[in-house]
């Protein structure tokens, strides 16, 4: 009389493997090894199943679905990690190309050198009138500017250093303030932009940082415009 072997632990082992795979979804080589083990055990189950108590099709389908899910998650993680690496490399390359270039970033200060200063403004919506004031270190208004019909976006500006009395402003730091209106109503999405020149680039876990004398370290997201 033939004796039919009835596996008692194969189902448990394969489920154990699935649990193990789910815990190791981030390790590509380990996942591949676990997948091979799973398929080997599944084939063994099918070959040695009890004819009177065959392996449930629903269970096989469920285990295969789990296998596909883990494989998909692992591939997705690999893809995202690759994209993250590529993005970081691209950002670093862009940052390096900005060395010695002037940039505009949010800020209310302006450095006057040899009687000239560069700055900018940013408005989020159309402004029919923008009033600008330039103040010296004592807080005194030394120059005013009026702009009309300013479209949304970034607008680079320059000051020739001429004071209201016709003399030239001394070199140093000045403060910018602005008031933007449309139809007589004040806009809250307008701001002054400060200017600086990128001297070097630093890289780290948080990405590339631009070292701008007078402004400190700026991220790529801080840059409103490259001049």
Q: Is the confidence at residue 91, as pLDDT, over 80?
A: no
Q: What is the dihedral of CA 109, 111, 112, 113, to 10 degrees?
A: 180
Judge whether residue 26 has pLDDT over 70.
no
Residue 3 lies in a domain: no
Residue 58: Cβ-neighbour burial (10 angstroms; 0-12, 13-18, 19+): exposed
* Residue 167 scores a pLDDT above 50: yes
pLDDT digits (tens, 9 = 90+) for 49-82: 665 566 666 666 776 677 667 666 667 577 667 6
How confident is the model at residue 131, as a pLDDT? Answer: 97
Q: What is the mean pLDDT of residues 124-146?
A: 95
Domain region containing 84: 10-97
**Is 31 domain-assigned?**
yes
Identify the domain boundary among 50, 70, 97: 97
Distance between CA 166 and CA 188 in Å, rounded? 33
Q: Which of 97, 131, 160 is the last residue of a domain?
A: 97
Residue 195 lies in a domain: yes
Quick one: 175 and 112 in the same domain? yes
Q: Domain check: are 62 and 107 in the same one?
A: no
| Residues 49, 46: Cα–Cα separation, whole Å | 5
Which of these, 140, 225, 217, lies nearest to 177 by C-alpha position?
140
Q: What pLDDT is recorded for position 76?
A: 55
Question: Are 125 and 222 members of one domain?
Answer: yes
pLDDT given at position 80: 64
**Same domain assignment for residues 54 and 32:** yes
On whether both 109 and 203 belong to a single domain, the answer is: yes
Q: Looking at 43-57, 154-168, 197-211, which range is the least confident one?
A: 43-57
Instruction: Please report the pLDDT score of residue 55 as a whole number.
Output: 60
Residues 121 and 76 placed together within one structural domain of the fold: no
Measure the CA dihedral 142/109/221/131, to 10°: -20
Q: Which of 21-30, 46-55, 91-100 has the lowest mean pLDDT?
A: 21-30
Query: For residue 208, what pLDDT band results from cuts at 50, 70 and 90?
Result: confident
At residue 10 the predicted structure's pLDDT band, cuts being 50, 70 and 90, is very low
Question: What integer pLDDT is reported at residue 9 of this predicted model?
Answer: 43
* Percentage of residues in the chain having pLDDT higher than 70: 65
**pLDDT at residue 116, as a whole number:** 93
Could you tell me if 114 and 218 lie in one domain?
A: yes
Asked, for residue 1, whether it belongs to a domain, the answer is no
The answer as to whether 144 is a domain residue is: yes
| Same domain flag for 120 and 58 | no
Determine the pLDDT at residue 12.
Answer: 44
Number of domains forming the structure of the chain? 2
What CATH number is given to the structural domain containing 138? Answer: 2.60.40.4070
Q: Which residues contact 164 (CB under 8 A, 6 or more apart)?
A: 142, 143
Least confident interval from 10-14, 98-102, 114-118: 10-14
Residues 91 and 133 in one domain: no
111 and 92, same structural domain?
Answer: no
For residue 51, being part of any structural domain is answered with yes
What average pLDDT score do residues 109-135 get? 96
* 5 within domain boundaries: no
Which of 2 and 193 is assigned the larger pLDDT? 193
Are both 156 and 203 inside the same structural domain? yes
Residues 145, 68, single domain; the answer is: no
Domain boundary among 71, 97, 123: 97
Q: Residue 198 has which token pair?
A: 């990128």
Mean pLDDT of the 205-213 span: 88
In a domain, 4, yes or no: no
Q: At what angle do helices 28-48 and 10-23 cross, to 10 degrees?
A: 160
Give me the half-sphere count of Cα atoms (radius 13 Å) on the Cβ side of residue 137. 7
């Amino acid at each position: 009389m033939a004796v039919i072997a009835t596996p008692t632990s194969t189902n448990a082992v394969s489920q154990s493997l699935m649990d193990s795979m789910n815990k190791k979804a981030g390790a590509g080589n380990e996942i591949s090894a676990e997948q091979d083990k799973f398929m080997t055990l599944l084939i063994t189950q099918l070959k040695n199943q009890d004819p009177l108590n065959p392996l449930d099709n629903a269970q096989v389908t469920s285990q295969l679905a789990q296998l596909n899910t883990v494989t998909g998650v692992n591939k997705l993680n690999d893809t995202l990690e690759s994209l993250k690496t590529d993005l970081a490399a691209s950002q670093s390359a862009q940052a390096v190309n900005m060395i010695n270039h002037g940039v505009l970033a949010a800020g209310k200060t302006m450095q006057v050198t040899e009687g000239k200063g560069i700055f900018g403004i940013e408005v989020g919506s159309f402004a029919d009138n923008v009033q600008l004031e330039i103040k010296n270190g004592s807080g005194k208004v030394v120059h005013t500017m009026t702009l009309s019909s300013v479209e949304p976006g970034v607008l680079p500006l320059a000051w020739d250093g001429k004071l209201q009395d016709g003399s030239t402003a001394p070199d140093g730091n000045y403060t910018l303030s602005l008031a933007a209106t449309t139809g007589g109503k004040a806009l809250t999405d307008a701001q002054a932009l400060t200017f600086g020149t990128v001297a070097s680039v630093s890289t780290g876990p948080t990405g590339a940082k631009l070292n701008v004398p007078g402004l400190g370290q700026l991220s790529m997201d801080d840059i409103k415009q490259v001049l």
